[in-house]
A and B are shown apart, each in its own frame.
Chain A
Amino acid sequence: MGFFFQELVNGVTTGALYSLIALGFSMVYGVLKLLNFAHGDLYMVGAFIGYFVIQWFGGPSALTIPVPLLLLIMFVLAAVLVGGLGVAIERFAYRPLRDAPRIAPLITAIGISFFLENSALLLFGAQFRVYNTSDFIPFSAGVQIGSVSIDAVQIMVLALGLAMMVGLRQLVIKTRLGKQMRAVAADREAAEMLGINVNFTIAATFFLGSAFAGVAGVMSGLLFNQVTSTIGFLAGLKAFTAAVVGGIGSLPGAMLGGLLIGIAESFITGYVSSTYTNLFVFALLIAVMLVRPSGLLGQAQLQKV
């Protein structure tokens, strides 16, 4: 039973990570109806920013500032820079195509993803960069419940992930910006006629979604230790899966989907074999799409004529 709960904890942690990426992906889809293929690569950029922050402050084993401050700088910097990158991409590549045929922004997004991935390859090389998290957050800092051990990084990822999700939910429901986002998602033209600054709302959505991806990137660096230019593609695919399984455009759906994918992945790796993990995740996605294309929590979209 201990093994089961251990795998569950690991799965929920990975799932929280996927949820954060899926949330940004789903938000962007909500306002623009665009599958942002570059979203996974934003996550990769966030992971690199975290790595360079650690290096800047003396490297993992000889930090010049206290660990909580370092974590704060990592997360804030990644969120701000990656958010800015997301806004720049939207401004440069997607905004001119807002009224183009649906296929055009999709292909642009594929191009952006490819460009970002290879820019990272050019700038940072093909080797793995290592966070060495255990040098500054020791394994012993975690908690032990029976035979299940939860280390400090996992606790932090879960807490921060939960806080961000709750915060996003409050923002979308309670604030003026959230209301504008929902209005733009429902009908962009009508929102514009009612005096909502659509360009600003879309840019803000891109900033938030990309910032979530950036934070998730730092988290993945802390959890999995390794960063390279290609990590974005697979993570992006998993996040698509999460967003689609939960119902694309639906924020609770993205959280649920992320958790489901994370837990399923963890159990398959633990009980079956890590060889078939990805194959299974892809098969799960295709099955969900065939049975319930609108996802678990999504609403079936009526086709307007």
Chain B
Amino acid sequence: MSLDAQPPAVGPQVGSDEWVARQAHRREYAPGWVGTAQRASQRIGWWPRLAIAGVAGAALPLLGLGGFQLQVGIDALVIALLAVGLNIVVGWAGLLDLGYIAFFGFGAYGFALLSSSQLGSHGIHLPALLSLPIVMIGAAILGLLVGLPSRRLIGDYLAIVTLFFGEAFVEFTNNVAPGSLGGPNGIISIDPIRIFGNIQFNSNESYYYLLVFLLVAVMAVLRLLDTSRTGRAWRAVREDPLAAASMTIPVNRVKLMAFAFGAMVAALAGTIFAAQQISVFPTDFDTPILILIYAGLILGGAGNIAGAATGALIVMVIYDGLLRSPAESGYLFYGLILLTLVVKLRPWRRLGLVLAATAVLGFAAHAVTRALSPAAVAGGPQSAGWIAAALRDWVIVPANPQVPGNFGFVLLVCLLIAIVQVKGHWRTILLVPTIYLAACVWEARLIVEYSVTRQLMIGAILIVMMNARPQGLLGVRRVEAAI
């Protein structure tokens, strides 16, 4: 799992090379109070840690979250649940399932059909304790069916087939049986979740608590599964199917089980999603959401339950919560740049030099541009609050920022690629104009089009994480045997 206090003494584990583990330990052994806190949290064991996280999550609404924040929390928890389920298939069994979103849709549509007036003359209104197991078992069977090709197809081929399964699901709900599935108009007025006859989940608060409970429960179950025979078999199959088979692991059955378990978790998330939204539409289950789940899983670290949940929560809070209002996304953007610089730039002298140079460059460029053409700086930063006030004489935002902003964006991408390619002092020198240009493009264009910016962020997370830290924030680096 995450960082160990001692070098791994139990010998090589499945999926982690001894030498790499030692190197990773030496690299990531944190001194000082950070390390002390890490080691303390390691000592108390996994279930108290999970319980503490759950209690903390449940206590959050007591701080007085508004309706919007609560909705962000609910969305984040749904995606976290999905990421934890996807982790079974992708992280543990190593099967690239690009149709995972269809199981989420299946759960949502299944629950919607069983708890609305859509089917039959009076509709079916099953109590949730009955419809939930039905939907989840149905999803598990569907997962087995979709997993069947995984017996013969490996790697990329499986990715294609599952991708098309996901696309086919969207096409299916869009076009087939518009009478009962509703076509593009979806299914509306779905019953809320009702259990034991009279306990009904109506408010967003109740769904928030339900989701926190479910996420903690699912994570606990998966943690037990992870350390069980099945969990070990999954990782063995991921590392080397042939070796696993020769050690009498039933490879096909193990793969199918991963698909079925993943599908069940996704369907569970789908039911809650449908009940909370009171409606389902085909577009809720399209590829962008799938990529969102992947971004969460990759950011946190595939193969790690806590990582998957944390990554998904971080991605969703940024995606849905922070990247909406100019003030908060400003903190996020500049905070992230500063944090990256502080972590990556050593020694401190160089960090100070880069920051000072950036500041000087900005004021100089602004002054020169204003002297040449006042209209070129007439726009002013689009951020809000004190950040905008501080940047007023620093960033160049033209009166009509769209076209210059677009060119700035293209130039920024080119500069970022160039920074990765060059080495040594050139990188430090290039960093200065890049940071400045990033700030200008942000103020001129990105913050205005926040709905596009957040999608760009998701794509960037996938690219950057895969290249810079494929094990994710919380994962342990694996070595793949050369084939």
Binding site for B on A (CB under 8 A): 29, 33, 35, 88, 91-93, 96-97, 99-108, 110-119, 121-123, 233, 237, 240-241, 244, 248, 275-276, 278-279, 282-283, 285-286, 289-290, 293, 303-305
Contact = CB atoms under 8 A, between A and B. Distances in A.
A290 B151 CA distance: 10
A35 B447 CA distance: 33
A80 to B, nearest CB: 17
Interface stretch (B155-163, B218-226, B379-387): B155-163
A244 B298 CA distance: 27
B459 A286 contact: no
Contacts of A304: 483
B409 A119 contact: yes
B164 A104 contact: no
B168 A283 contact: yes
B306 to A, nearest CB: 20
A102 B449 contact: no
Contact of A114 (B164, B453, B455): B455
28 contacts: A33-B156, A91-B417, A91-B421, A93-B463, A97-B466, A101-B478, A102-B155, A103-B90, A105-B466, A106-B96, A108-B466, A111-B459, A111-B462, A114-B459, A114-B462, A119-B409, A119-B413, A122-B406, A241-B164, A278-B171, A279-B171, A279-B172, A286-B149, A286-B161, A289-B153, A289-B157, A290-B149, A293-B153
A119 B453 CA distance: 9
A111 B460 contact: yes
Contacts of B90: 103
B156 A106 contact: yes
A305 to B, nearest CB: 6
B442 interface: no
Interface residues of B, number: 56
B242 interface: yes
Contacts of A101: 470, 478, 480
A52 B116 CA distance: 50
Nearest to B94: A103
A118 B452 contact: yes
A304 B483 CA distance: 7
Nearest to B481: A101
Given A93-B467, A279-B176, A293-B157, 16 more contacts: A35-B159, A91-B421, A97-B467, A108-B463, A111-B459, A114-B291, A114-B455, A114-B459, A118-B459, A123-B409, A123-B410, A237-B163, A275-B175, A279-B175, A290-B161, A303-B242
Contacts of A282: 164-165, 167-168, 171
Interface of B: 90, 94, 96, 149, 152-157, 159-161, 163-165, 167-168, 171-172, 175-176, 242, 287-288, 291, 294-295, 298, 406, 409-410, 413, 417, 420-421, 445-446, 449, 452-453, 455-456, 458-463, 466-467, 470, 478, 480, 482-483
B167 A88 contact: no
A33 B156 CA distance: 9
Given A121-B452, A122-B452, A237-B164, A115 B459 contact: yes
A112 B164 contact: no
Q: Which of A88, A112, A248, A282 has the most CB of B within 10 A?
A: A282
B456 A111 contact: no
Contacts of B149: 286, 289-290
A107 B294 contact: yes
A115 B460 CA distance: 7
B168 A240 contact: no
Nearest to A279: B171
A102 B482 CA distance: 11
DSSP class of B's interface residues: helix, strand, loop or mixed?
Answer: helix
Contacts, number: 138
A33 B459 CA distance: 22
Given A35-B159, A103-B96, A286-B164, A110 B294 contact: yes
Nearest to A233: B287
B467 A285 contact: no
A234 to B, nearest CB: 9
Contacts of B160: 35, 240, 244, 285, 289
The 10 closest A-B pairs by CB, nearest first: A111-B462, A115-B459, A114-B459, A111-B463, A118-B455, A282-B168, A101-B480, A279-B171, A108-B466, A282-B164
B168 A286 contact: yes
Given A92-B420, A100-B470, A119-B413, A289 B463 contact: no
A93 B467 CA distance: 7
Nearest to A304: B483
Contacts of A119: 409, 413, 456
A92 B421 contact: yes
B467 A108 contact: yes
Q: Which of B171, B295, B421 has the most CB of A within 10 A?
A: B171
Contacts of B446: 122
